[in-house]
Structures are given as C-alpha cells and as structure tokens.
C-alpha cells in the first residue's frame, strides 16, 4: 500500500512540475502561448512541444535517478534553469532578429531550431543528473 501512495505522490509532483515549467516558459514570452495556438501559429506550437518534451526529459531522468521526491525536484530545478538559459543563449546567439518576434510571426524555421535547442539541451543536462 505504501508503494502505491509513493507512486501517486510522485506522479502528482511530476504533473505539477511539468505544468509549472510550462507556465514559467509562457511568462518568458511577450505573447500568450495559448492565444497564439488558438490562432493556429504553428511556430509557437512547435516550440511549445519542444519545451514540453525538454521538461519531460529532464523530469523523467530526475525521477528515474532519484528515490527522494525532494532530490527529484531539485534536479528538475537545475535542469529547468539550464533550459531557460538555453533560450536566452539562443536569443543572444541570433542578434539579427528577436526570437520571440519571429515565433509570433510564425517563423517555423526558427521554431524548429529552438525546439531542437530545447530537446538537445535537455538530453545533455539529463546526463548530469545523479
């Protein structure tokens, strides 16, 4: 019975962290992600998918490698900060345009690149989680 309770608590924490991660990413953009999705902005959808996958990868590895929920949360926080840094580094590395503006305008090429940056960063960061 205790194992079932631990699993349920872990799943609840994972879902809450995933949602919190998506909310924080939404705050980082000057536009509303959900409004852009409703408008059919594929670029924003691609990037949101990349953000979701990236946070899920970090969170999954943090959950898999830690028996303590606290340690899982701490490792997720470390990985999540790295994902946020990846966005700002990508923004800095593309000085000829603003990433958020390109996404709002529907630039799918920028979206695919940023999606890959998020997912690639999550795999690299996940290799450091112990």
Q: What is the pLDDT of residues 52-81, one digit of tens each?
A: 999 999 999 998 998 888 999 999 999 999
Mean pLDDT, rounded, of the chain: 92
pTM confidence score: 0.88
**Residues 77-114 pLDDT 10s:** 999 999 999 999 999 999 999 999 999 999 999 999 99
Contact 55, 21 (CB under 8 A): yes
């Amino acid at each position: 019975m205790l194992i079932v309770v631990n699993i349920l608590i872990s799943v609840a924490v994972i879902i809450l962290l995933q949602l919190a991660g998506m909310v924080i990413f939404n705050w980082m953009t000057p536009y509303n992600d959900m409004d852009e999705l409703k408008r059919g902005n594929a670029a924003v959808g691609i990037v949101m998918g990349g953000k979701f996958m990236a946070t899920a990868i970090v969170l999954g590895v943090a959950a898999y490698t830690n028996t303590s929920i606290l340690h899982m949360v701490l490792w997720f926080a470390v990985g999540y900060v790295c994902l946020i840094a990846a966005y700002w580094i990508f923004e800095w590395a593309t000085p000829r345009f603003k990433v958020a503006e390109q996404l709002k305008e529907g630039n799918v090429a920028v979206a695919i690149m940023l999606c890959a940056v998020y997912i690639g960063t999550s795999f690299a960061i996940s290799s450091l989680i112990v």
